[in-house]
A and B are shown apart, each in its own frame.
With several copies, the nearest count.
Chain A
Amino acid sequence: MAEVNMVQAINMALAHEMARDADVVVLGEDVGANGGVFRATVELQKRFGAGRVLDTPLAEALIAGVSVGMAAQGLKPVAEIQFTGFIYPALDQIVNHASRLRHRTRGRLSCPMVLRSPYGAGIHAPEHHSESPEAMFAHIPGVRVVIPSSPLRAYGLLLAAIRDPDPVIFLEPTRLYRLFKQEVPDDGEAQPLDACFVVREGKDVTLASWGASLHETQLAADALAQEGIRAEVIDVATLKMLDMDTILESVGRTGRCVIVHEAPGCAGFGAEISAQLAERGLLNLLAPLQRVTGYDVVTPLSRLEQAFIPSVKRIVDAVHRVMEFA
């Protein structure tokens, strides 16, 4: 089995599900002949036809709204928003329609759609191409928010997202698209949409992260191991539904938690995890909680993006701070 990177894994999942289920439709800007600006939909139009893999006009609100209409008819649209920097016009359709079509019709209609979008900084992209808006989506009742951190995860979670009967926002960290490869069997096995993944076990401190930041978090755990600090690393992956049980259980053992994400800290999703720990796990805490996040500034252009992205050093420093408490 050949190793594939995350974009290829996403492409595999899309192809797998399109072959298996004739209701799956892929739409977006440049998803057809071009195969997506990141190549995530490459060859799909050739294989499944221009009816099921369609280039839309340049209009993000439209892409989301058309997906709602398709989904209400039982299609399973997988829409691509080319970058999350351009996803905001689609928000109205997500908040006011996709997330509540089932709810407001008491189950008469539903909205089984996936909105895929590349996100995050670190690839020297132009302005507006590097933001991390996951917290906004996680605040919307009625949608799921999923972020893969590896090719394997991307394949299994995307399958699950497409099969899920409700809307899923699927955010793909561009920085990971081609960062590393894994063997990904094309076995059609979905991964759960409501579970954190413990990707490294440890007993001294819990590090919770997702998406591209998981990468630096794991590097930090490596560095800490050198000093004898054994970090447990959790890939939160399905921000919504958030699997607090796994996090609480881990922090219950370690007594310390550092949450790492690239989005600005203020009202970021890390706050939700902190808040739940402070509500439900406070008595187990041996040290203040820490968040290591992007600063509360506009994501800078490429010259400064590395200074914006939470670094291994910042994560290690935060762990050192929490380890000071005995």
Chain B
Amino acid sequence: MTVVASFEIEYLQFLDQLGRVSQPLPGFARDPRALVPLYRAMVLARTFDTKAVALQRTGQIGTYASSLGQEAVGVGTVGALRPEDVFLPSYRESGGLLLRGVTMEEMLLYWGGDERGSDFRVPRQDFPICVPVGSQASHAAGVAYAFMLRRQARVAVCMLGDGATSKGDFYEAINFAGVRALPAVFVVCNNEWAISVPRALQSAAKTLAQKAIAAGIQGVQVDGNDVIAVRFAVERALDQARDGGGPSLIEALTYRLGDHTTADDSSRYRDAEEVKQRWAHEPIGRLRNHLVEQGAWGKNEEEALHAECTERVQKAVDAYLAVPQPPPEAMFDYLFAQLPRPLQPQRTAAAQESGHG
């Protein structure tokens, strides 16, 4: 038998489940104070998610997808990005979005059913949240192609779920990125569930990282509840991409501790026991243990942080609730650069209708 190709999938973890260092930390993580911003970002994300779920329950926003338990993936990923990079998120990324500079008010507007929520004031070139699962992967390839063509040292970073890896879109995009050695990084947030469909029913592949092999690109698996591992792997992939070394796929192993969205009741399809066990792996306590152990964090800091997060979230909620409804004719705005003539009577009618309504 002749073997014409062979492959290995690497797994990375720096902090184990209890927050103990399981292998020498990478440079950026050696000074624990440097990890505090990541910690703060995760706590803010969780505070925000909790509030958003509550707002949905009281009818103040629509369906919401919480990132509970997965905060390290978004925060670790975005923590490695430069402002000039372009982030292409899925819908379960509050931590990552906040770190990119998207405001909580914008996020609430979006989930509250207002398009203005995607008009990010800060990451102007980032893509809005992508709802059609996996369809943003080829956008990332296109953005990366533009960077390459213009010789810009920028990277397109796409986040998607384990379910998304079953879409042809995902595969076509990583395959094209491979052919053109594009500066793109694909981060698969494997939270083991796609609504009610468990990871095992998405693919017989042992790891999702190995999907990279089909595209001839780098693939690596990391402990997605270890923000250091996520950040390290993403930074390494970004460096490689920025240097012309081509794209990577990173599978981050985590777990969706909450329901799929506020419209979901996960007790219908998964065991409460499983969820309980997985709480022991969640990322925030793990990093806190490490920080505390390193003397970089304590009770006071923790209390202050929670108070601060709660206040920031509440401010954002107040600001969101104060945003006036858009007028009906806003649905005609930005459809085209200029409203075409045949649409003008419709716009007028919509405006008038509301006047009467």
Chain A interface residues (CB < 8 Å from chain B): 25, 29-30, 32-35, 37, 51-52, 54-59, 61-62, 64-75, 77, 85-86, 89, 92-93, 96-97, 102-110, 124-129, 141-142, 165-166, 194, 241-244, 295-298, 300-305, 307-308, 311, 313-314
Q: Are B142 and A37 closer than 8 Å at their CB atoms? A: no
B contact residues around A105 at 8 Å (CB): 115, 118-120, 128, 334
Which of the segments B5-13, B173-181, B219-227 contacts the partner chain? B173-181
A311-B357 in contact given A61-B169, A106-B115, A166-B336 (Cβ < 8 Å): yes
Report the Cα distance A304→B163, complex, angstroms: 30
CB < 8 Å: which of B110, B143, B163 contacts A72? B143
Q: Are B139 and A68 closer than 8 Å at their CB atoms? A: yes
A contact residues around B318 at 8 Å (CB): none
A contact residues around B91 at 8 Å (CB): 126
Q: Are A142 and B336 closer than 8 Å at their CB atoms? A: yes
B contact residues around A64 at 8 Å (CB): 138
B contact residues around A59 at 8 Å (CB): 166-168, 172, 175-176
CB < 8 Å: which of B62, B137, B175 contacts A65? B137
CB < 8 Å: which of B124, B163, B268, B346 contacts A35? B268
Give the one of A54, A89, A304, A313 with max B CB within 10 A: A304
Which of the segments B15-23, B47-55, B193-201, B247-255 contacts the partner chain? B193-201
A65-B125 in contact given A34-B269, A304-B330 (Cβ < 8 Å): no
The contact sample of 15 A-B pairs, CB cut-off 8 A, is: A33-B268, A35-B268, A37-B264, A55-B201, A57-B203, A62-B169, A97-B135, A102-B334, A103-B333, A105-B119, A107-B119, A165-B337, A244-B342, A298-B331, A313-B356
Give the one of A55, A74, A96, A166 with max B CB within 10 A: A55
Report the Cα distance A301→B117, complex, angstroms: 11
Q: Are B331 and A297 closer than 8 Å at their CB atoms? A: yes
Q: Are A141 and B335 closer than 8 Å at their CB atoms? A: yes
A69-B142 in contact given A32-B196, A59-B166 (Cβ < 8 Å): yes
Listed from nearest, the 9 A-B pairs whose CB atoms lie closest are: A69-B142, A65-B138, A302-B113, A34-B196, A57-B166, A73-B146, A307-B328, A69-B139, A58-B163
Report the Cα distance A142→B202, complex, angstroms: 32
Report the Cα distance A68→B167, complex, angstroms: 18
* Total number of B residues with any Cβ neighbor in A under 8 Å: 83
Asked whether any CB of chain A lies closer than 8 Å to the CB of B341, the reply is yes
Report the Cα distance A250→B133, complex, angstroms: 45
Q: Are A37 and B263 closer than 8 Å at their CB atoms? A: yes
A contact residues around B125 at 8 Å (CB): 72-73, 109
A25-B149 in contact given A61-B169, A307-B353 (Cβ < 8 Å): yes
Give the one of B112, B196, B264 with max A CB within 10 A: B196
Q: How far is the CB of B22 from chain A (nearest CB, A)?
A: 32
Q: How far is the CB of B125 from chain A (nearest CB, A)?
A: 7
Within 8 A of A (CB), among B105-132: 110-116, 118-120, 124-125, 127-129, 131-132
B contact residues around A314 at 8 Å (CB): 353
Report the Cα distance A104→B130, complex, angstroms: 11
Give the one of A89, A110, A142, A313 with max B CB within 10 A: A89
Give the one of A34, A296, A301, A313 with max B CB within 10 A: A301
A contact residues around B127 at 8 Å (CB): 72, 109
CB < 8 Å: which of B62, B132, B140 contacts A92? B132
Q: How far is the CB of B105 from chain A (nearest CB, A)?
A: 14
B contact residues around A304 at 8 Å (CB): 113, 326, 328, 330-331
Report the Cα distance A15→B132, complex, angstroms: 30
Asked whether any CB of chain A lies closer than 8 Å to the CB of B238, the reply is no
Q: Are B340 and A241 closer than 8 Å at their CB atoms? A: yes
Report the Cα distance A6→B144, complex, angstroms: 34
Q: Are B357 and A71 closer than 8 Å at their CB atoms? A: no
Q: Are B118 and A108 closer than 8 Å at their CB atoms? A: yes
Asked whether any CB of chain A lies closer than 8 Å to the CB of B325, the reply is yes
Within 8 A of A (CB), among B137-185: 137-149, 156, 163-164, 166-169, 172-173, 175-176, 179-180
Within 8 A of A (CB), among B286-342: 325-326, 328, 330-337, 340-342
Q: Are A97 and B139 closer than 8 Å at their CB atoms? A: yes
Q: Are B131 and A127 closer than 8 Å at their CB atoms? A: yes
Report the Cα distance A85→B131, complex, angstroms: 10
Q: Are B133 and A307 closer than 8 Å at their CB atoms? A: no
Closest to A35 in B: B268
CB < 8 Å: which of A34, A58, A108 contacts B119? A108
* Other A-B pairs, 14, CB within 8 Å; known A72-B125, A295-B331: A34-B268, A58-B167, A65-B135, A65-B141, A69-B139, A69-B146, A85-B132, A97-B139, A104-B128, A126-B91, A129-B131, A300-B115, A301-B113, A303-B113
